[in-house]
Structure 1
């Protein structure tokens, strides 16, 4: 893998008709799937400059996950629905629709063995679903007191973690549903007395490949909860010892939220910023508070995903664009606008 984060460039972009809120590469790396404020999921083939819509939700879709072979797409919306799709269908239609949560589904994850889908939401439940038939395997509640913002399976498939608005992480046993322990990332949540509002929560959670480190993304040092004014923050935690390793911050004091995080197999962390400072992609070494490189994006970024090749990155943007960047770009790359 020939990569150099300091050479990161945008190599492809597509302009949509509505602001974007989520994005994922499919497991094969052929397609980009993105969610927009038009309440639809879209499949984009960057090589063919074509896109196809998936219609079935009545609200925004933040959660996009896949079966391990990439044949099945599962989406979770703010309408509380979990929908199964044939990912490669010429004319996509829902295969299965489940009323999974009362209120928003805020995040979803697929187990490493591809058998389970985990969902979390505003009803304070963690639910595990059979990926193949959509049946409810287990539901877990009782430890979170505020909205559950995110969920991640440990790479061993036996453990799962949920994170809420208050900065609280809960560790669960996947097989039994038993509560194991909790942790609190205090910097990722704050009560603003002036506006009488809690702000923060886990905007992204991701383990490194061997499961020794958990990366937590969000906002810190909030000065105005109403306007969401604060600093992006990614904290790395030692999973076994349940202790903070380091806080990754922006040395330029850029204002906004860290909406996405990717822990690269080559031992560095990637984060994206969306907010008053626009869009920025940050790169940190594991033992450094400040980034070793930042790449300015054209507009506020709302989601991030790493391609299976470990070289490309996709970002979803408020300015109605989905963008693919490369850490090993061709010489003198010029961003190409996809044709409709």
Structure 2
């Protein structure tokens, strides 16, 4: 068992793709990481040696990725509204299923705790549930007034959370799709009338492994969104009653947005900031208002994933690199 020490985080590997990277996810075993890039392609990287295999099938950028529980299939969601299932472990992975899933951008795709269901959300403001193994649509319902940016299954397997542009988080009961409660994350919404811009939103949702806390990531103080002047912000809520317990601000990052947050364990939550202030890994706990550690990255980062068992963090960068960092000495 690897003893984690996030204060010792450092870049282990960096591998270059053919275009700026957008998203990344580890396989369940941690043997591979898949990234997406602005040339509409996906890359499967072998963590042991950096060997790259390219996947083609989307006609637009891909922001959403998730593996099935066994790790032999990957599902990607593109801005053209298409979900593609890939046989990801083959020497040359193939698309085994394509579904025209949404009208416009798919922002998030997640697998349920038992691996049976897949959720997809996006700009059409509709939540859709799919059978993970067949791609059959199970349910769909209009759920938000603005673009849905993020989704997360609760570890209890009975609830789904979704977050939108306005900073509204909805908690849904999966058995009948009823709305249980809403959480107020409106501080993540930064409209700018002068630029006629609606900016911000719940860019990422995460839940602690024990299910007791909810994390919502994004940005605030968007005084000049088009000029990349906005600061990272992470909100911490309790699951029991939806109360906001912490607003984790990040001083000294005038141009940053938290693209993704992941619970490393029940005590520590991690987020990645990207923007004009560069790429930064941030680590938070329940007792401190600000992050207890930050680690600068070599370039602007746009996504992040963690494989806790191996103590690894993957980051997707605008400079075309996938970087693998270690959370140990």
* TM-score, normalisation: structure 1: 0.94
Aligned residue in 1 for 2:158: 158
1:32-53, CA deviations, whole angstroms, 9 ceiling, x for partnerless residues? 1001111011100021331111
Aligned residue in 2 for 1:192: 192
1:284-335, CA deviations, whole angstroms, 9 ceiling, x for partnerless residues? 2212111221111001110011114151111000111000101113xxxxxx
| Cα distance in 2, alignment partners of residues 183 and 309 from structure 1 | 31
Consecutive aligned runs of 4 or more in structure 1 exceeding 3 Å deviation:
none
Aligned residue in 2 for 1:13: 14
Aligned length: 328
| Cα distance in 2, alignment partners of residues 254 and 29 from structure 1 | 34
Aligned residue in 2 for 1:79: 80
Aligned residue in 2 for 1:301: 301
RMSD: 1.2
1:253-291, CA deviations, whole angstroms, 9 ceiling, x for partnerless residues? 442101111212151121111001011111122121112
Question: SS of the counterpart of 2:198?
Answer: strand
Alignment of 1:255-294 (within 5 A): 255-265=255-265, 267-294=267-294
| Cα distance in 2, alignment partners of residues 53 and 177 from structure 1 | 38
* TM-score, normalisation: structure 2: 0.97
Aligned residue in 2 for 1:53: 54
| Cα distance in 1, alignment partners of residues 173 and 256 from structure 2 | 34
Q: Contact 1:29–1:308 at 8 Å: present in 2 too?
A: no
| Cα distance in 1, alignment partners of residues 305 and 254 from structure 2 | 21
Shift of residue 102 of structure 1? 0.5
| Cα distance in 2, alignment partners of residues 252 and 228 from structure 1 | 14
- Relative distance call for 1:104 and 1:243 in structure 2 (3 A) is same
| Cα distance in 2, alignment partners of residues 74 and 282 from structure 1 | 28
Task: Identify unmatched segments of 5+ residues in structure 2.
Answer: none
Moved more, 172-181 or 64-73: 172-181
